[in-house]
Amino acid sequence: NMDTLRVDAQPFAWRFPPARTAVIMIDMQRDFILPGGFGDTLGNDVARLKPAVTAALELLDWCRARNMLVVHTKEAHAADLSDCPLAKRLRGDPTLRIGDPGSMGRILIDGEFGADFVEELTPLPGEVIITKPGKGAFYATELGEILKAHGITHLLFGGVTTEVCVQTTMREANDRGYECLLVEEATESYFPEFKQATLAMIRAQGGIVGWTATLEALTHATP
Ligand code: C5J
């Protein structure tokens, strides 16, 4: 059915049909959230991302209870690094580079412990998992086709980090015609000011990239 719900969102109310809405949970992997992973090797304080884990689980469970399509993405490369541009591997001055062996396995390599999802956010059977080589989840993946096959028109977003993979994916989705809403507590950045700036730029100019709302507002959506 095409019943819609109304969320008290910014910059104005967001209406969405749960039957045509998917939740996209971006890169809630040990490599970004726990010590010893990719985020840590780049010099970030990974503890800053922790608050998003609880909120992300609440968001997922709310969507699961409404039988919405659940998509988890992970940024991870093939073991032979064939899908990792040299420009990405050589960028910056990390303590370990993508593919190097770390305390949670090889950094950002698909199948390694560190590249997998944090325990709390383990996908349930039947949920979609997108492994992506880039920051955006549409680039070089099946995501677009999967959303089309499910008749999805609206997307809820959570995950890390706000201004990198979350914002990139939301912009990709917006350009593809999806109505996008980012759940504020379900996303975090290593840089609190970048999170706030991202929320502001998404909803500026009448929602130029999309909407944002609190988890409270979403879970109190009304017909
Ligand atoms: C980053 C991501 N920050 N998932 N990846 O490199 O946001």
Distance between CA atoms of residues 131 and 125, nearest Å = 16
Q: How many Å apart are CA 28 and CA 126, to the nearest integer?
A: 18
The tens digit of pLDDT for each residue in 80-134 reads 999 999 999 999 999 999 999 999 999 999 999 999 999 999 999 999 999 999 9
Instruction: Please state, in angstroms and rounded to a whole number, the distance separating the CA atoms of residues 10 and 183.
Output: 11
84 is catalytic: no
Q: What is the largest CA-CA distance in the chain?
A: 52
Please provide the average confidence, as pLDDT, over all residues in the chain: 98
CA of residue 201 to ligand 1 center, whole Å = 18
Q: State mean pLDDT over 169-190.
A: 99
Phi-psi group of 37: left, alpha or beta (phi > 0 → left; psi -120 to 50 → alpha; rest → beta):
beta
Between the CA of 29 and the centroid of ligand 1 the distance, in Å, is 10
The band of 56, judged by pLDDT with boundaries at 50, 70 and 90, is very high
Q: Complex ipTM, two decimals? A: 0.96
Cα 116 from Cα 113, distance rounded (Å): 5
136-162 confidence digits (pLDDT tens): 999 999 999 999 999 999 999 999 999
Ligand 1 mutation pick, 27, 45, 170, max ligand atoms within 8 A of CB: 27
- Which ligand 1 atom is the nearest neighbour of the CA of 162? 7
Distance between CA 75 and CA 61 in Å, rounded? 23
The pLDDT-based confidence of 1 (bands split at 50, 70, 90) is low
Nearest CA to ligand 1 atom 5: 165
Identify residue 49 by its one-letter amino acid code.
L
At 2 the pLDDT is: 75
Q: Which of 63, 74, 116, 165 is catalytic?
A: 165
Distance of CA 208 to the CA centre of its chain: 19
Q: How far is CA 151 from CA 61, 140, 177, in A?
A: 21, 20, 12
**119, containing H or E segment:** none
- Residue count (the chain): 223
Ligand 1 — pocket residues by CB below 6 A? 27, 32, 75, 135, 160-161, 164-165
